[in-house]
Amino acid sequence: MTAVGISDFCRSVCRVFLVTILSISPVSFAQAKGYAATAEGRALIDEMVAKYGFDGDRVEALLAEATRVDKILESISRPAERTLTWGEYRRIFIKPARIEQGVAFLQTHKDAFARAEAEFGVPAPIIAGIIGVETWYGNYLGNYRVLDALATLAFDYPPRSRFFRSELVQYLLMTREQRFDPLQVKGSYAGAMGYGQFISSSYRHYAIDFDGDGVADLLSNPVDAIGSVANYFSAHHWREGGPVAEPVEDRLAMDSPLLTRELKPKLTVSDYRKAGLEPELAVKDHSAARAIRLEGADGPELWLTYHNFYVITRYNHSHLYAMAVLELAGELARGLADANETTKNTEES
């Protein structure tokens, strides 16, 4: 057997072997401890058995292994930092290194991006922009065991225990479906995983196997991640070719009621045109729109944002987040065009 053969063999068999060992781990015979010994833990074990057909000893062993991490509780309950201005927020994400690596990411996976664009109608730079903002193209996936993060927040963080308990259930289902070892997967302090930082419920709903190997692997497979982010946008009604947002000359009063608070656009392009704003993108009068005024590095900026901008906020409920993704995507598109032009000129000369 060649070295490659052994490694392939190990990839397929060792994982099965590992999962098998874990499922009969001696921990399951030990007395219940940790979260497995709490009333909430017991209730979760019972639910996984009754509702989803899990092996009770297995879930008990997992909960006994799950560790409370105080740093996670500190992170989630830290008082909100001073809200960053758009200028400050932008500086974090729009950097030459993040742009360069994003262009390389687009080039390396150009076939996957082309397929994602064709199948889901979501531009490659937007997909890469999300993955770039979330994890620097898969370079920072988070260092917490997801099991620890979700158990800590489900059982030791009452303000959001309902949500995180539900995510813990989803996590156990997801790892069973994808045949991941629930003790091995790492992610953010809030249990977000992989290139696009999907939480467990999103993973189950939107992750797809985009390279056809039978696993939707957002943890180590960039092709699956690219397809899954595109699928997420498509499922949240991204409109192919639709406008996203544009800066316009600010003709609104300081406290204009046209500066609506909700992320979802409540007004139309026509409302803003009547107030003197002049969009340049091809937008129809009846299209939904929302004006936002941002404090940029060089002073206030007024932006008209449209349906597709709102779709970006379905990924992360923040207009600054959506702005960062949009601007990074713009830089990536420019960088890619420049790189392609250079390649073309080199080939011609």
Name the residue nearer to Ca ion (CB basis): 217 or 331: 217
If you write DSSP's letter for every residue of 174-203 in order, what string do you get?
HHHHHT--TTT-EE-TT--BTTTTB-HHHH
Instruction: Give the nearest distance from C-beta 187 to Ca ion in angstroms.
Output: 18
- Give the burial string for 178-189 (b: 16+ CB within 10 Å, else e): bebebbebbbbb
Binding residues (CB under 5 A) for Ca ion: these are 209, 211, 213, 215, 224
CB 106 within 8 A of CB 124: yes
- Cβ-based nearer residue to Ca ion, 227 or 279: 227
CB of residue 108 vs Ca ion: minimum separation in angstroms? 17
Cβ-based nearer residue to Ca ion, 65 or 211: 211
- The minimum distance between CB 337 and Ca ion, in angstroms, equals 30
User: Which candidate, 209, 210, 211, 203, places its Cα nearest to that of 232?
Assistant: 203
Nearest distance in Å: CB 178, Ca ion? 10
Nearer to Ca ion, 156 or 209 (CB): 209
CA 67-189-39 angle, to 5 degrees, is 40
> Of residues 60, 65, 117, 134, which has the active-site annotation?
134
Q: If we measure between CA atoms, which residue out of 168, 104, 181, 183 comes closest to residue 136?
A: 104
Identify which of residues 104 and 215 has a Cβ nearer to Ca ion in the complex.
Answer: 215
For residue 302, list its beta bridge partners. Answer: 248, 293
Minimum CB separation of residue 211 from Ca ion in Å reads 4
170 close to 154: Cβ distance less than 8 angstroms: no
Q: How many CA atoms lie within 13 A of 252 on its CB side?
A: 25
Q: If 0-12 CB within 10 Å is exposed, 13-18 middle and 19+ buried, where does residue 253 land? A: exposed
119 flagged as catalytic: no
Q: Tell me which residues are annotated as active site.
A: 134
